[in-house]
Structure 1
Amino acid sequence: MTPVHQLGVSDVLILAASFWLVTKVVRRITSRSSQGTKLNGPPSESLLFGLNRKVVGAPDSGLLYQEWAARYGPVFEIPTAFRGRKVILCDPKAVNHFYSMERTIYIKGKLVRAVVANLFGRGILWAEGESHKRQRKALTPAFSNAAIRRLTEVFYDSAHKLKAHWEAIIDNAPPEGAIIDVEHWMNRVALDSIGIAGFSHDFQTLDGRYSAVAAAFDSLNFEGQGILSTLVFLLGTQFPFLANLPIKRNRIQKNLRRTMSGIADELLESTRREKSHVTDETVDRSIIGLLLKAEEEDAELRMDEAEVLAQRVECLITGWCALSRMHTFWCSTLTGYETTSISLTWALIELARQPEKQAKLREEITQFGATDPTWDQLGSALPYLDSVVLETLRLHPPVGETTRQAIVDDVVPVSEPITTASGKVVDSIVIAKDTIVTVSIRLMNQSEAFWGANAKEFQPERWLTLADDPLRAKEIQGHRHLITFLDGPRTCLGKSFALAEFKAVLSVLIRNFTFEFPDGPETEIVRHRALIPRPKVAGQPGGNVPMRVGRVE
């Protein structure tokens, strides 16, 4: 038999995948199972992709969802691949219900769990149900107020180290001033902070030391992705096996996990050795210390070996929500340094765009002179700093949406009657088992219906009067009526950690430096596609945000 007629391994795999695909399509098309309440929504553009291409290709999916919500109502559906459907919740009562039922009714779909397993193993980010509840309870003490109060000094130490480096750059800059890529440095300060706070390990990236962690995340650049990678985005919800195809991005994700595991193992062993010689409460209360306790046979909340290994990886990059597909533990144990650095960068961008607000924040911070505010003062004595941080998180949530799959039928209440596709007016909708449900965090955070006519503008002052304003935003649960940190049983565990780090670093930077764009406040900012979308100055390679940084006189 000639080679032309021989079937190789790849041919067999393609045939098997094609047979599986056809079977799934036929089953979906011929299915007569309950579809729940039929809702209004935009028409499909493709039998193969539905509206997935339009959503994935949109510069801002939140704006697209807002457009559809205005046309079809606060609860609507969009067609997905192969006649699938996805329900979009934009009603506050429905959104509150959705988050309260996470872990019992709404869980991550198979695609998301496969991606998470590839990246971080089967730890708390991957876990559902009782496993998630048990692992979360084991880690909760590491994020108590008492623990964060102690860690605030770590954040200040890293911020002042950054300050010293920038002062040296400014001293050696030409007369027109120093141009500094602020996002690059926000990455460094965030990574060094989480290394010390989580593991008592200094990555020393502020001193220019190479970091395998940062390099691994930088490799997850989604710009210019190939056709197969795009197909994972477009068809992955219907066909989760795509997450395990040997395409470039999936290989990079698995390599990231191996890199993280190796680093985490080294840090764990180092901490274990130190713990054998030092009895210090702060060690036991740290994230890595809690994992060591969970390994002990008599631990109250025993984790098995696979869970502990996954937590090592997740906790290595802990601190922010960010909660990242991977939404649920961004806040506390996933990609922490990524989301912290991104949020700090967005704050500097917005303050550079509006120098008067930057000056107002600086005036408030300088009331303490050269002394850093305490943890308690960060939380209560600096209302404008609090407002700037909240407004940054409102306009620029690191994670844009939460998507889950119903594991049982559910009845979802709505705050005001809606009209179904059949014309019936209802005050609740039925979500059928296996239905994909999405809450757009960006939509809820930026909706004019909830936040007023200036909802898409950076206006920290809104937080100073929110209690007295008749805004519908107050119908939304979550931290300060934001769902940036999610809500319910999977709300951001590291919320206090994130806010303390954000405020401490930003206070040091604004007190000591001024920030402006070399080409003026109208400089165009776009999003760079990566594991978590990053801001960048239009035309810059990668996620670069160069600014002119000067000393405060």
Structure 2
Amino acid sequence: MSNLTNFMAISNAIRSTNIHAIFRSIPSNFGAVDAGILFGSSAILYILIRRFSDRRSTPLKGPPTTFGNFLFGVLPFLRNVPDVGAVYEGWASRYGAVFSVPGLLGSRTICLTDVKAIAHFSAEETYGYVGTPPAKRFNEKLLGRGLFWAEGDSHKRQRRALNPAFSNVAIKNMTSIFFDSAYKAKAAWDAMLESSGPSEGIILEVQLWMNHISLDTIGLAGFSHDFGTLSGNTSNIASIFDAIGSKESVLDTVVFLLSLIVPIVDNVPTVRHSLLNQLTKAMQDLGNGFLETTDANADKSVIGFLMKSVSSEKISHEEVMSQIMFLIVAGYETTAISLTWALIELSRNPAIQTKLRDELLRSGDPTWEELTSHGSLLDAFTCEVLRMHPPLPEIERMAAKDDCLPLSTPIQTARGELVDTVFVRKGQYAKLSVECINRSEALWGPDAKVFNPGRWLDESNGVDQQRAQELQGYRHLLTFSDGPRICLGKVFALTEFKTVLSVLLRNFVFEFPNGPDTAIGRRMGLLPRPGVEGEAGYDVPLRIRHYVPTELA
């Protein structure tokens, strides 16, 4: 093998950040010094190639390379920022609606806030823009090669197999499960309040209870399995989820960052690594049990539909296992986080809480039509929680081919040229900060950072939101993503969210023990979870008391 061939082989391996391929590329007759020289030369060659390739892209303005560091770009900085969306918004204001930031190994990541560019990017996802290598490795290791991992035709086929399980008819039939979970929580809280005697209520860690509601619901609706956490049972899966972020150490952070460049580092036995392996094993054990006991002809849960797809050869058993694991993560973690944020916002805004309760008390349990219609304060409140607190704060993909992003408004490049398209080279990373776009003052008006459900009650009147209405996605939001990868379970999540709130809010009043100005931050778990500032872990303690109508008080 010639030296040039050696250089190119190792450079390609470095580019793919595949350490095994790097070692395989080093000739067997090379000594340690020769291998080191070849590796170093190849790394330099790769960096030069990358820099040259970057020049093929439109030269965008953005924070200078010195703002971050060569290895990890701006990632270490952003991991310690309390409001990442605001940082991206500041950069967009300074550098233009499409800009670039320092990325891995001296590269530049394109960041999109232009509505036309976002629409194009979203429409091209899964064929034109695919998962980044680090994200693909993580998803495959944790969840297997299911819907979240798949791209292109494989993603399209797997999604088609799941579609019947998330049709409106299927979810309407699951609504009783959502109500049952909410009423189990109500019954448990009633008992706790009664046993506490005359008082101003009790203090509950509500995130724990929202976890219970979400896990029991996805268990029954997804797999006809009752985890029983609302009845006092413990769940190994829930315990692992809770521990993943609360036990993160400095070593975990260092290993995570290094693994983005050298994948084998991810095998370092840190606490987080051990917990993720435990989570995967626990979900696999559950999935095997579900597959052994499910009757595809009789079961009306999600897994029943999946087993029918297996029998018609639309999807493999291995893919079903991956879908089960994905549904547990998505159905449990995202909904629990959103419900917790909902109770936080109710506690922050007592007037909104009272007004929403009054609306819900006008009738009994909402009907399917009421749960899925627009125009109510419940729907407006739901949209505002999703706008302000998206469970998945950003979307990062890699261009699978050269592409041109159209712009709604021309921008000035780093060379001072005015352009209305941005050229993206194959292999370049592109990112949407969902937090930034959902709360952007350029899109949502001067009160974009204010929690205001009223903005949804007359959208046609929202002059300040006309730019936001150019966004695609669910209700002009990117919370559920958009395009071919828009969240398949969004109607499931929205229906469960509204159902649970309708039951809890008609029966209880929610308050912060230390007042509505209690500071809430975020904790890094599998997804960012809310937590009281200054407190360890994910705890969100709220004072809960029975709602008593004014005439009976």
TM over 0.5: yes
Q: Is the 8 A contact 2:144 2:322 kept in 1?
A: yes
**Paired residue for 2:130?**
107
Asked whether 1:27 is paired with 2:20, we answer: no
Uncovered stretches (5+) of structure 2, i.e. residues with no partner: 1-22, 25-31, 549-553
- Matched ranges for 1:346-357 at <5 A: 346-357=341-352
State how far apart, in whole Å, the 2-side matches of 1:20 and 1:349 are.
Answer: 56
**SS of 2:60 mapped into structure 1:** coil
Could you tell me which amino acid in structure 1 is paired with residue 476 of structure 2? H
Superposition deviation, residue 65 in structure 1? 0.6
Instruction: Pick one of 216, 222, 225 that aligns with 2:249.
Output: 225
Q: Is the 8 A contact 1:365 1:507 kept in 2?
A: yes
Cα RMSD of the aligned pairs, angstroms, is 2.1
Instruction: Pick one of 248, 273, 286 that aligns with 1:263.
Output: 286
Superposition deviation, residue 266 in structure 1? 1.2
Sequence identity percentage: 45
Could you tell me which amino acid in structure 2 is paired with residue 75 of structure 1? V
**Paired residue for 2:316?**
304
Could you tell me which amino acid in structure 2 is paired with residue 414 of structure 1? L
User: What TM-score, normalized to structure 1?
Assistant: 0.88
Asked whether 1:205 is paired with 2:223, we answer: no
**Paired residue for 1:118?**
141
Instruction: Pick one of 534, 542, 545 that aligns with 1:547.
Output: 542
Describe the shift of the 1:90–1:130 C-alpha distance in structure 2 as closer, same or farther (beyond 3 A). same
State how far apart, in whole Å, the 2-side matches of 1:383 and 1:232 are.
Answer: 47
Q: Is the 8 A contact 1:114 1:244 kept in 2?
A: no
**SS of 1:335 mapped into structure 2:** helix
**SS of 2:245 mapped into structure 1:** coil
Uncovered stretches (5+) of structure 1, i.e. residues with no partner: 1-11, 318-333
Describe the shift of the 1:20–1:464 C-alpha distance in structure 2 as closer, same or farther (beyond 3 A). farther
State how far apart, in whole Å, the 2-side matches of 1:286 and 1:207 are.
Answer: 21
Asked whether 1:185 is paired with 2:209, we answer: yes
Q: Is the 8 A contact 2:255 2:268 kept in 1?
A: no
Describe the shift of the 1:20–1:474 C-alpha distance in structure 2 as closer, same or farther (beyond 3 A). farther
State how far apart, in whole Å, the 1-side matches of 2:263 and 2:86 are.
Answer: 27
Instruction: Pick one of 108, 111, 115 that aligns with 1:92.
Output: 115
Describe the shift of the 1:304–1:177 C-alpha distance in structure 2 as closer, same or farther (beyond 3 A). closer
State how far apart, in whole Å, the 1-side matches of 2:75 and 2:392 are.
Answer: 18
Q: Is the 8 A contact 1:536 1:544 kept in 2?
A: yes
State how far apart, in whole Å, the 1-side matches of 2:176 and 2:41 are.
Answer: 58
Q: After superposition, what is the alpha-carbon deviation per residue over 1:431-475, rounded to whole angstroms, capped at 9, x for unaligned?
A: 001001000000000001111111111100000122222221001
**Paired residue for 1:6?**
none
State how far apart, in whole Å, the 2-side matches of 1:20 and 1:254 are.
Answer: 35
Superposition deviation, residue 64 in structure 1? 1.0
Q: Is the 8 A contact 2:236 2:282 kept in 1?
A: yes
Q: After superposition, what is the alpha-carbon deviation per residue over 1:524-547, rounded to whole angstroms, capped at 9, x for unaligned?
A: 111111111111112333111111
Q: Is the 8 A contact 2:246 2:525 kept in 1?
A: yes
Describe the shift of the 1:24–1:264 C-alpha distance in structure 2 as closer, same or farther (beyond 3 A). farther
Superposition deviation, residue 380 in structure 1? 2.4
Q: Is the 8 A contact 1:183 1:341 kept in 2?
A: yes
Describe the shift of the 1:449–1:223 C-alpha distance in structure 2 as closer, same or farther (beyond 3 A). farther
Q: Is the 8 A contact 2:246 2:537 kept in 1?
A: no
Instruction: Pick one of 46, 49, 70 that aligns with 1:47.
Output: 70
State how far apart, in whole Å, the 2-side matches of 1:20 and 1:263 are.
Answer: 47
Instruction: Pick one of 145, 160, 167 that aligns with 1:137.
Output: 160
User: What TM-score, normalized to structure 2?
Assistant: 0.88
Superposition deviation, residue 223 in structure 1? 5.5
State how far apart, in whole Å, the 1-side matches of 2:417 and 2:217 are.
Answer: 55
Describe the shift of the 1:125–1:244 C-alpha distance in structure 2 as closer, same or farther (beyond 3 A). farther
Q: Is the 8 A contact 1:25 1:82 kept in 2?
A: no
State how far apart, in whole Å, the 2-side matches of 1:245 and 1:403 are.
Answer: 25
Asked whether 1:252 is paired with 2:253, we answer: no
**Paired residue for 1:526?**
521
**Paired residue for 2:431?**
438
Could you tell me which amino acid in structure 1 is paired with residue 238 of structure 2? A
- Matched ranges for 1:496-535 at <5 A: 496-535=491-530
Could you tell me which amino acid in structure 1 is paired with residue 487 of structure 2? C
Describe the shift of the 1:18–1:243 C-alpha distance in structure 2 as closer, same or farther (beyond 3 A). farther
State how far apart, in whole Å, the 2-side matches of 1:308 and 1:360 are.
Answer: 44
Q: Is the 8 A contact 2:216 2:227 kept in 1?
A: yes
State how far apart, in whole Å, the 1-side matches of 2:280 and 2:389 are.
Answer: 27
**SS of 2:410 mapped into structure 1:** strand
- Matched ranges for 1:278-289 at <5 A: 279-280=297-298, 283=299, 285-289=300-304
State how far apart, in whole Å, the 2-side matches of 1:426 and 1:415 are.
Answer: 11
State how far apart, in whole Å, the 2-side matches of 1:29 and 1:180 are.
Answer: 53
Q: After superposition, what is the alpha-carbon deviation per residue over 1:205-264, rounded to whole angstroms, capped at 9, x for unaligned?
A: 01110112212212312654233x323543544444544554442332222111100011
Instruction: Pick one of 457, 480, 488 that aligns with 1:485.
Output: 480
**Paired residue for 1:8?**
none
Could you tell me which amino acid in structure 2 is paired with residue 310 of structure 1? S
**Paired residue for 1:321?**
none
State how far apart, in whole Å, the 2-side matches of 1:130 and 1:243 are.
Answer: 29
State how far apart, in whole Å, the 2-side matches of 1:138 and 1:123 are.
Answer: 11
Q: Is the 8 A contact 2:410 2:418 kept in 1?
A: yes
**SS of 1:176 mapped into structure 2:** coil
Q: Is the 8 A contact 1:111 1:241 kept in 2?
A: no
Superposition deviation, residue 339 in structure 1? 1.0
Q: How many residues align?
A: 510
Q: Is the 8 A contact 1:100 1:487 kept in 2?
A: yes
